[in-house]
Amino acid sequence: MTSEHIDGLLARYLGLLHEYTELRSQLSTHQSSMFGNLARANFSAERGFRYGPDHFDGRMQALVRLSLSEDDSGSEPAPSFAVTRPKKEVEVEATDDVMETKDAGEKKQEDETDTTKNTTEKPRPKKSSKKKEPAGPRDPLQWFGVLTPMALRQAQSEAIEVIDNIVPRLTTLSAEMAAVEIEVRRARKKRAKALGLQEKEGKSTAANATEAAVPI
């Protein structure tokens, strides 16, 4: 391994570290704002009521999903994390129009005069059917009633920003940094081994040259 390759890995590591440091600063800012808004919401709530896990709905469902993939661009694969939100299913209304009309044609009977009978049934009334698909997970703010304070909504928006964007990227950067560290250690070991072989070959060459120069 050449020194240029190791320098490139170290430069990449420093870039990842810089982004990681900035995201940690953003995470701290969002968390401070989130807990501050939550404290203001509890302060303005009714006496004896607090916004917390005691009022959670026991039927709550996860609103986000974590997807994991591996990046094979480097020599050491690093996992990549991302958060996805499933789309809410909507109610589907379908109206079925059933119109059945039957026409009776001419019927011929033996030894009787041909008669034509046209019978038309009355159209049946329209049947409307509503198909309700299962609704998506409820908004957690609805657990605390319809009228929620603005501070609680702001706390939710801060938490969504942290969960959707900052935390997955921080986790991905941490995994990438660990993979780069492994690559740097391997590159340094290979370079040290190559330098040792070169030094050994150089000493052997110098010894042979010395022996050849000494007269017998």
For 67-98, the pLDDT digits (tens) are 888 776 666 778 888 888 776 554 444 444 43
Q: Which ranges in 69-166 belong to alpha helices (H)?
A: 150-161
State yes or no: pLDDT of 180 exceeds 80. yes
CA-nearest of 81, 57, 52 to 164 is 81
Per-residue pLDDT reduced to its tens digit, 32-49: 999 999 999 888 888 778
Q: What's the confidence (pLDDT) of residue 147?
A: 81
Least confident residue range of 34-38, 124-128, 157-161, 165-169: 124-128
Least confident residue range of 60-69, 92-101, 166-175: 92-101
Q: What's the confidence (pLDDT) of residue 124?
A: 57
Question: Regarding predicted confidence, which is higher, 127 or 67?
Answer: 67
Q: What's the confidence (pLDDT) of residue 171?
A: 93
State yes or no: pLDDT of 204 exceeds 80. no
Q: What's the confidence (pLDDT) of residue 192?
A: 85
Q: Which residues contact 188 (CB under 8 A, 6 or more apart)?
A: 1, 6
- Look at the pTM and tell me if it is higher than 0.85: no
* Pairwise CA distance, residues 3 & 32, whole Å: 43
Q: What's the confidence (pLDDT) of residue 79?
A: 83
| pLDDT mean across residues, the chain | 75
130 three-state secondary structure: strand
Q: In the chain, what are the domains?
A: 3-84+141-213 (1.10.287.3240)
What are the b/e assignments for 96-114, b being 16+ CB within 10 Å? eeeeeeeeeeeeeeeeeee
As to burial, measured by CB atoms within 10 angstroms (0-12 exposed, 13-18 middle, 19+ buried), residue 186 is: middle
- Cβ atoms of 6 and 187 within 8 Å: the answer is yes
Q: What's the confidence (pLDDT) of residue 91?
A: 44
Neighbours of 152 (CB within 10 A): 19
H or E element that contains 96: strand 92-96
